[in-house]
Amino acid sequence: MGKVKVAAFSVSLEGFGAGPNQSLENPLGLRGPELHQWFFPTKVFQSMHAGSEKGTTGIDNDFAARSFENTGAWILGRNMFGPVRGPWLNEDWKGWWGENPPYHVPIFVLTHHARKPLEMAGNSTFYFVTEGIEAALEQARKAANGKDVRIGGGVSTIRQYLQKGLVDELHFAISPVFLGEGENLFAGLNLPKMGFKLVEQKQGEGALHVVLRKG
């Protein structure tokens, strides 16, 4: 069976994984893009979002590329899919990514409001799960067919899976930024007591990459 992993998740020096006040204009929250300055220049990002063959190819790019390896399914919180709140008024909103999202595998979106599956280009199909995080993981594991399931975020979603002891591996990109406010990933969590051990750390061009794994 594949692992359940969090990969290439950016956090600030004080542990914030997103800025406050997410909106259509600020999908990562106020100042949220500052957390991802290590990722935006990489060849991986430029290829996914701009269709460009340009981009940096250093340590940051290596970790970005690794984050997609052996991934058979994703799980996202509803905020990661879009800024829409409450019941779906219609099905016009199809995510932040345009017609060809960067996933190319099944994606399971946690929500309280049912919606039929959304098929997009590149084999990216979004399934909207209303039965909770464990049901989403069960469906994602089945869809992954032995590959890894990646918990893509946001902060609340990752915390829920950690609190339930359902995550096997964590890779954080610690950006040299103080946000001062936002959504804190680590508050109240004791990762060593949860069984995580630091197995790798490497300084990239724009972030410190740390990998923790259940011992």
CATH number where 179 lies = 3.40.430.10
Whether 98 is in a domain gets the answer: no
Whether 94 is in a domain gets the answer: no
Whether 175 is in a domain gets the answer: yes
- For CA atoms 13, 166, 137, 102, give the dihedral sign: positive
Whether 37 is in a domain gets the answer: yes
Whether 146 is in a domain gets the answer: yes
Banded pLDDT at 125 (limits 50, 70, 90): very high
* Confidence at residue 90, expressed as pLDDT on a 0 to 100 scale: 86
Closest CA to 13 of 188, 211, 180, 197: 180
The burial of 136, by beta-carbon neighbours within 10 Å (0-12 exposed, 13-18 middle, 19 or more buried), is given as buried
Whether 155 is in a domain gets the answer: yes
Lowest mean pLDDT among 43-57, 123-137, 177-191: 43-57
Whether 157 is in a domain gets the answer: yes
The answer to whether residue 113 scores a pLDDT higher than 90 is: yes
The burial of 156, by beta-carbon neighbours within 10 Å (0-12 exposed, 13-18 middle, 19 or more buried), is given as middle
Whether 89 is in a domain gets the answer: no
Banded pLDDT at 35 (limits 50, 70, 90): very high
Task: Tell me the residue range of the domain where 60 lies.
Answer: 4-18+28-84+103-208
Number of domains observed in the structure of the chain: 1
Percent of the chain at pLDDT exceeding 70: 99
